[in-house]
Amino acid sequence: MTTQEIITRRAPRGATSWNAETLTFDAVLATGAPVQRHDARGAYDEILDLTKAAFAPSIPLLDSHARDTLDAVLGRVENIAVVGGELRGRAVLSRNNPRAQRVAAELTDGETFGISIGYVVSKWTERTNPATKRREKIATELSIVESSIVVIAADANAGIRTMEHTETQSPHETQDAGAVAERAAINAEIRAIAKVAGLGQDFVDGQIDAGASADAARAGAFEAMRSRSHAGQIRTTASVGMDYGDPEFRSRAIGEALFTRVAPSHTPSEQARQFVGLSIPEIARDCLRTRGFQTTGLSSASVVERALQTTSDFPLILGDTVGRTLRMAYESAPAGVRRLARQTTARDFRAKHRIQLSSAPTLEAVNEHGEFKSGALAEAQESYKVDTFGRIIGVSRQALVNDDLGAFADLTRRMGQAAAAFEAGFLVNLLTSNPLMSDGVALFHATHANLAATPAAINDASLTAARKAMRTQKGLLNEAISVTPKFLLVSPDKEVEAEKMVAAITPASSTDVNPFASKLEIIVEPRLSGNAWYLVADPSEIDGLEYAYLEGAAGPQVTSEVGFDIDAIRFRVRLDFGAGFVDWRGWHKNAGA
């Protein structure tokens, strides 16, 4: 499973909080409960760390994760928050979408549906559960991008929330009626669980007679399903996760298989393995057959042309392969100055303001009357904004018919490298332009105490002076702050000089000791030239250079379009990116000699 693909997790049916007048219902979108998945290494339990999840206040509500048409947008989910370990929100159905109105009618008639989320994971942590001995992958950095109404669900502890009854009764009557209503809701949920799991009335009666909770009944249903599977009986329920009937899932699997031909070192997942080795025309034929089109007797050229012009998944598969190839090249490109910057996100294209706060005021003695003196924090503000950059690349129909993966992959790889080079060039141009800060003073300036008064080569004396200048930097209230130099940034012209200066040696005497050996990490930026060099603090310690992507769109994004005026499929590579210096104290410049 790659770290940037959209994953779905589904929640089961449950007693509804549907309001037919406002077309709203409350839902538990996810609970982080383990969901079984598979990868190239076999089965594992996926767990979401919802405390680390990023999400907008409102996300789209879709029909079964269909993201390719506006007709599938049923409404939105708003007021999203993590409460008691659950990701909750209020769903609002559209009054203008016929699909949404059908869902509303079903809910009014008493039907319930599952809730599913789509999310992108950017960081995983893996472990083995000591109790179950099962492999677990925990999503520690993820973004919730959409939610969906589905028929079958996976997250056994989530679903549509029940409404709270607030009828006025005597305390004793309220307690009794509340207990009866709660038991009735649980019994209804047990029946729904049994229906989804394909279990009979005996299971329902046994659970209700035992006074089982919904969680206990759900666990019993899963156990009964597992036992039935082991006994070789036919399962009547949908499997947890995605299957090849899901067009988006199938497109990703075939796209990954095609990517394996582009990058032989990539180990395909279990889902993609069966498609490895298919040529581009064979993939086009498979897409047409899946959509019910006859392909018998058609030539490779005709198959490719029809796959491009019909509603098949062929363009999506090619787009998936382009995205994987582009991102592989993008991520493998040299980092340079980018390593010295902190990555963040921007919610929109408006100016992103970064507030700097001073250290807390110094504690003072309390006088004999017990009087405490008030203190305040000083603040300053820097800003920058995200802009959109991009290009369009095309792959001809002839290249697809010829199964010319070399040209296909080379063009895509070059676009990935170009995207990384653009970001690096953007950051270098920002650095060398010496931009004005919010105080009206240039980034590197004597007023900021981060510019050497006398240009000097990289030597013992100049590094000592630069390090001292950084160590003695002051905060907004002229308070002492901690700035530790960690990186030495140089151009290729100064690389050897820098390496000699920080190299570890075996001294013959104490005067020969190199105080900077193993203390600084050299960063060589090929886009820099000349003698200038920089000392830079760790961006995790203090603010400095910062870059941002639009929320949910980190790195280059790829969309596809079938050309009409040209005989090709075109891919649009879009990058929503911006950067700026938000503090000067973590950087020191020497013009060099």
Give the pLDDT confidence score for residue 45 in this predicted structure. Answer: 86
pLDDT tens track of the chain, all 593 residues?
444 555 555 444 444 578 888 888 888 888 778 888 877 788 888 888 888 888 887 888 888 887 777 788 889 988 888 877 788 888 899 988 888 888 888 887 777 777 888 888 888 888 888 888 888 898 888 888 888 887 665 554 544 544 333 233 333 433 444 565 577 678 777 877 887 778 887 888 788 878 888 888 888 887 887 777 655 444 444 344 444 455 567 777 888 888 888 888 888 888 888 888 788 888 888 888 777 787 887 888 888 888 877 666 777 777 777 778 777 888 777 778 999 999 988 888 888 776 655 555 556 676 666 665 655 545 556 888 889 998 887 777 777 787 767 766 777 788 888 888 899 999 999 999 999 998 899 999 999 999 999 999 999 899 999 999 999 998 877 777 879 999 999 999 999 999 888 875 444 444 555 667 678 899 999 999 999 999 999 998 888 999 999 988 888 888 877 766 666 777 888 899 999 999 999 999 999 98
Give the pLDDT confidence score for residue 247 in this predicted structure. Answer: 59
Q: Which residues of 413-427 are buried (b: 16+ CB within 10 A; e: fewer)?
A: bebbbbbbbbbbebb
With a CB cutoff of 8 Å and minimum separation 6, the contacts of 387 are 349, 576, 577, 578
Cα separation of 193 and 195, whole Å? 5
Strand ranges, E, within 40-134: 42-48, 53-54, 58-63, 73-83, 86-93, 114-128
Q: Which helix (H) or strand (E) holds 8?
A: strand 6-11
Give the pLDDT confidence score for residue 16 in this predicted structure. Answer: 55
Secondary structure of residue 345 in the 3-state scheme: strand
Cα separation of 417 and 436, whole Å? 30
Chain centroid to Cα 155, Å, comes to 20
DSSP string of 536-553? EE-TTTS--EEEEEETT-
Give the pLDDT confidence score for residue 335 in this predicted structure. Answer: 76
Closest CA to 339 of 531, 521, 528, 576: 521
Tokens describing residue 64: 């079964």
Give the pLDDT confidence score for residue 350 in this predicted structure. Answer: 83
**Residue 285 burial (C-beta neighbours within 10 Å; 0-12, 13-18, 19+):** buried
Cα separation of 247 and 244, whole Å? 7
Cα separation of 10 and 159, whole Å? 9
Helix 201-209 and helix 214-230, axial crossing angle in degrees, nearest 10 = 140
| DSSP state letter for 233 | P
Give the pLDDT confidence score for residue 523 in this predicted structure. Answer: 93
Give the pLDDT confidence score for residue 430 in this predicted structure. Answer: 95
Give the pLDDT confidence score for residue 248 in this predicted structure. Answer: 65
Angle at 241 between CA 276 and CA 130, to 5 degrees: 100
Give the pLDDT confidence score for residue 546 in this predicted structure. Answer: 93
Alpha-helix runs per DSSP H in 291-351: 300-309, 314-332
- The domains found in the chain, sorted by start residue, are 6-164 (no CATH), 247-332 (no CATH), 335-361+377-505+517-593 (3.90.1690.10)
Closest CA to 585 of 488, 475, 479: 475
Angle at 174 between CA 169 and CA 177, to 5 degrees: 115
Using CA atoms of 301, 302, 306, 309 in order, give the dihedral in degrees to the nearest 10: 60
Give the pLDDT confidence score for residue 507 in this predicted structure. Answer: 46
With a CB cutoff of 8 Å and minimum separation 6, the contacts of 146 are 6, 59, 60, 61, 62, 65, 67, 117, 118
Angle at 586 between CA 475 and CA 593, to 5 degrees: 125
Secondary structure of residue 186 in the 3-state scheme: helix
**Rounded to two decimals, what is the model's pTM?**
0.49
As a three-state string, the secondary structure of 424-482 is: HHHHHHHHHCCCECCCCCECCCHHHCCECCCCCCCCHHHHHHHHHHHHCCECCCCCECC
Cα separation of 240 and 228, whole Å? 16
